[in-house]
Amino acid sequence: MTGMTSHLALLLDTLGSRAREQGKGLSDAVGVVGDLGRVLARGSEAEVRDVQAAVAALRERLEVGEVDNQPVKALDGHNGHAYLAGALWAINELMSAQLDVVDAARTAEPTGTRRSQVERVVLAALDGTVPRSPKDIAESPEGAAAGLRNDEISRALSGLLAAGRAEVVDPASPDTDRRRKYFRLVH
């Protein structure tokens, strides 16, 4: 989640600017609240604390009509129902984000062993001088023996790219199909 806290702070700041403009809709808050729920459910303590500070800063800046933007005063004011509904909606979204994490964990395929096997085969296939395409890997003796599916190879390769352990390079031979993507390990 590199840079996620600064990204969320930017979104909150933009939302705050929009709130100050007359006639601007604020429905993009839907996505921002969802994002906050996910960082709460998955982020580190430091990330959550940073984001919480940004949320508080925005809330304090918002004007909510004739009453002060303090929870007790706002809830007792003319817009108390709307304030309460908004608070409950946001809490609901945060709970949904938490439950999504629970559901994802429950339905995750128990493929740790399989995933390791796929990664081993892909790493072995890339550990040479000749860059390899996903199709090369699938059709290699090791790939065929392991019965690697295309989606498994793609997932392993995108994971290696994301981790900076592999890179996309030009094919070794000029006669090679140039539509393909060729990968090699970063040493």
Gap between the Cα atoms of 119 and 152, Å rounded: 9
Q: Torsion angle of alpha carbons 13, 19, 20, 25, nearest 10°?
A: 130
Comparing CB distances to other proteins, the nearer of 80 and 159 is 159
In the complex, least distance from residue 168 CB atom to other proteins, rounded to whole angstroms: 6
Nearer to other proteins, 107 or 113 (CB): 107
Stretch that binds other proteins, among 9-17, 57-65, 68-76, 78-86 (CB under 8 A): 9-17
Angle 134-138-143 (CA atoms, 0-180°, nearest 5)? 130
Which stretches within the chain are classed as H helix?
A: 4-20, 29-42, 45-61, 71-76, 80-107, 112-126, 134-139, 141-146, 150-162
String of contacts with other proteins for each residue 13-52, x by CB under 8 A: -xx--x--------xx-xxx-xx--xx--xx---------
- At 141 the three-state DSSP class reads helix
143 in contact with other proteins (CB under 8 A): no
- Using CB under 8 A as the binding rule, whether residue 162 contacts other proteins is answered as yes
Helix or strand or coil: residue 163?
A: coil
Nearest distance from C-beta of residue 45 to other proteins, angstroms: 15
Give the footprint of other proteins on residues 119-138 (CB under 8 A).
133-135
Given candidates 79, 123, 176, 180, which one binds other proteins under the rule CB under 8 A? 180
Q: How many residues bind other proteins (CB under 8 A)?
A: 55
Q: How far is CA 169 from CA 132, 138, 158, 179, 183, in A?
A: 9, 18, 14, 12, 6
What is the chain's alpha carbon radius of gyration, rounded to the nearest angstrom?
A: 24
Is 61 among the residues that bind other proteins (CB under 8 A)? no
Applying CB under 8 A, which residues contact other proteins?
Answer: 1-4, 7-8, 10-11, 14-15, 18, 27-28, 30-32, 34-35, 38-39, 42-43, 92-93, 96, 99-100, 103-104, 106-107, 109, 133-135, 150-151, 154-164, 166, 168, 177-181
